[in-house]
Structures are given as structure tokens and as C-alpha cells.
Amino acid sequence: MSDDGEPTTCLVECYWPGVTEQKVLAAVERVQAAIEQQHTYSRALRLLGSILVPADETVFCLFDGEHDEVEAVSTSAELPFERILGSRWMDATRRFPK
């Protein structure tokens, strides 16, 4: 949870030579299993989704959770990440104050 009470969102950036949709789906299953294993520590950690950019051999995974938990789960799931960035999800269907 951030200082302003909003859930913490982390973007996991993976440079992944030879990545395919099947490899991403298998990684998502490993991540979900790792989250289930660590469920006793963090009930708030969850994978929101992934974006595959095949032309750049890159995958982005968006998590709700604290950086340390996201890093532990990503490592446990053997997700080949380069970095984990704190981020803020901004839903395009929602109006934002000016």
C-alpha cells in the first residue's frame, strides 16, 4: 500500500529472447503457483496481466503488490525480468480530475 492508501502496482519488465505466447502463458502459470505458495505472507499480491511485445522480445507483467513480494514471486517463478518498477494504473475508461 502506498503512502496515499492506494494499492502498490509494479511493472515487471522482461527482456526475453525467443519468447512466445506459449512461454508467457507457462510463466503466468508459474507466477500464479508462486503467489499461491506465498499466499500466507501476502493476501494482496496478484498478477493483473501481461503484455507480450514479440517484435522486441519483451514481456511486461503488471502486479498489485509490494516490490519485495513481486520480486520474490518473479524470481521463484523463473520469470526472466530485467527490472521492477513502481507504477500507477490509469484506467482509460475512468475520468480523471484536471
Instruction: Provide the domain count of the chain.
Output: 1
Task: For residue 2, tell me if it sits in a domain.
Answer: no
Task: For residue 68, tell me if it sits in a domain.
Answer: yes
pLDDT of residue 37: 86
Residue 95 host element (H or E): none
Task: For residue 4, tell me if it sits in a domain.
Answer: no
Task: For residue 97, tell me if it sits in a domain.
Answer: no
Which regions of the chain are under pLDDT 70?
A: 1-7, 39-43, 94-98
pLDDT of residue 97: 63
Task: For residue 38, tell me if it sits in a domain.
Answer: yes
Grouping H, G, I as helix, E, B as strand and the rest as coil, residue 70 is: helix
Angle at 28 between CA 10 and CA 9, to 5 degrees: 10
Give the domain range for residue 33: 9-86
**pTM, to two decimals:** 0.83
pLDDT of residue 1: 45
| Mean per-residue pLDDT over the chain, rounded | 87
